[in-house]
Amino acid sequence: MSLKVKFSRQNIFVILAVACVGQAFGEEYYFDPSLLQGTAYGQGMASVNGPDTPAGEYLVDVIVNGTLIKSGVKIRFNPVNGGQRTEPCLPLSLMQAAQVKSLPDNALQNSCRPLRDWVSRGEWQFDSATLQLRLTLPMSELMHRPRGYIPPSQWDSGALALFLRHNTNWTHTDNTSQHFRYHYLWSGINVGSNIGLWQLRHQGNLRYADSNQSGSAWHYNRVRTWVQRPLTAIDSIMAFGDNYTDSSLFGSLSFNGIKLATDERMWPQGKRGYAPEVHGVASSSARVVIKQLGKVIYETHVPPGPFYIDDLYNTRYQGDLQVKVIEANGKVSRFTVPYSAVPDSVRPGNWHYAFALGKVRQYYRIDNRFLYRALLARRL
């Protein structure tokens, strides 16, 4: 049995048309003045085809250094130079969202100004086809937020909770030839409660032994009990009760009293530990690639002008950093940042401190049990 398919000219045309369908990209609109007659019409087309945006209000998406910060913002374009061109009037709220560092104290919340009045070396570009207002601002004019930064206003103290964690082992020994039977239980206990910012903690262990020769016995050993509270204003934690002194420089001691110490968990990930700073200059919008020991550890885009990177993750304590700056025109520049540090180094501007006051626990054989220890470290 044979199957014959007949194609008409119309079917072949449809098949070819579908096969040739591709992606379509919209270009900037352009009206041909030659299609209209008269001087007035020609002048009208010149204003439409001109590079400047007509004065008025537009709902735009604002992009700062390649990052979208606000969508659907109403921006007014005002005429300048006798109406020859226009420029956007940017409100204070938009500059605050862009995290501009130095804003005038007398600026009203609902006031708007040209970009040059907010940032001295800023540039703007408006795409009327996509309604995108692109702002290029030097890093030196912006407040820097390290990687992993979360505003303290968004921190949560957590819910009211009571928890119990344990690690329990049970052993059973039965020797019938010697008529010996033995049971042993050990359980490490960690119990606590969270009430707002206050946190109650207790650690201990429970032991139980049962033998047909010596009988049975229960014993509970209290390891330590303490109450702690985070102090978000100074990125620290304060604790009362049984605790341990800081062991970064000196040996750790168990004591009963008060402890106040820096808590790095409140810091962004890019501020913990130690890593060197990288300073450089970009001639245009550039991509910066940083390597250590041949491996890429950081990559970002920077606007034109001086740039600095101070939120590298905690890296090895030795191994120079190789920095490559790739400009928008393809030009590549390289430089090296020497890097060699000792353990417990501190980033520039960071404080590390730990204060302890109380009495040494009973199991230390010393005459004077009073304890005071202070540790302060800062990178100058």
Of the spans 22-31, 50-59, 223-232, 338-347, which averages the highest pLDDT? 223-232
In the chain, the amino acid numbered 263 is: D
For the record, the structure tokens of 86 come out as 């226009």
Give the mean pLDDT of 331-356: 85
- In tens, the pLDDT along 84-122 reads 788 888 888 888 888 887 776 666 666 788 888 888 778
pTM above 0.85, yes or no: no
Name which of 118-122, 212-216, 241-245 the model is least confident about: 212-216
Residue 322 DSSP SS3: strand
Of the spans 8-17, 328-337, 345-354, which averages the highest pLDDT? 328-337
- In tens, the pLDDT along 46-89 reads 444 445 678 888 898 998 887 888 888 888 888 887 777 888 88
Q: What is the pLDDT of residue 245?
A: 86
- What values do phi and psi take at 194, rounded to 5? -115, 120
As a 3-state breakdown, the chain gives helix, strand, coil percent values, each rounded to 5, of 15, 50, 40
Residue 6 DSSP SS3: coil
Q: What is the pLDDT of residue 17?
A: 52
Bridge partners (DSSP) listed for residue 134 = 63, 125
Share of the chain above pLDDT 90, in %: 18
**Cα–Cα distance for residue pair 12/183, rounded to 1 Å:** 88
Q: What is the pLDDT of residue 3?
A: 45
The DSSP code for 42 is H
What's the longest Cα–Cα distance across the chain? Answer: 121
Q: What is the pLDDT of residue 80?
A: 82
For the record, the structure tokens of 178 come out as 């010697």
**Cα–Cα distance for residue pair 76/59, rounded to 1 Å:** 9
**Cα–Cα distance for residue pair 119/305, rounded to 1 Å:** 13
Cα atoms found within 13 Å of the Cα of residue 33, Cβ hemisphere only:
13
What's the chain's average pLDDT?
A: 80
pLDDT band, residue 18 (cuts 50/70/90): very low
For the record, the structure tokens of 309 come out as 């990177």
Q: What is the pLDDT of residue 214?
A: 76
Inform me whether the pLDDT recorded for 205 exceeds 90.
Answer: yes
Residue pair 243/356 in contact (Cβ under 8 Å)? The answer is yes
Residue 43 DSSP SS3: helix
- What values do phi and psi take at 360, rounded to 5? -65, 145
Residue pair 275/255 in contact (Cβ under 8 Å)? The answer is no
Residue pair 350/271 in contact (Cβ under 8 Å)? The answer is yes
Give the mean pLDDT of 19-34: 49
CA dihedral 137, 141, 146, 151 (to 10 degrees): -100
Query: β-strands 305-309, 198-211: how paired?
Result: unpaired
Q: What is the pLDDT of residue 10?
A: 56
What are the structural domains, with CATH classification, of the chain?
56-141 (3.10.20.410), 161-267+352-378 (no CATH), 275-337 (2.60.40.3110)
Residue pair 314/341 in contact (Cβ under 8 Å)? The answer is no
For the record, the structure tokens of 7 come out as 């194609």
- In tens, the pLDDT along 247-275 reads 777 778 888 899 999 988 888 878 888 88
- In tens, the pLDDT along 133-149 reads 888 888 777 887 777 77
Q: How far apart are the first and last CA of the chain?
A: 92
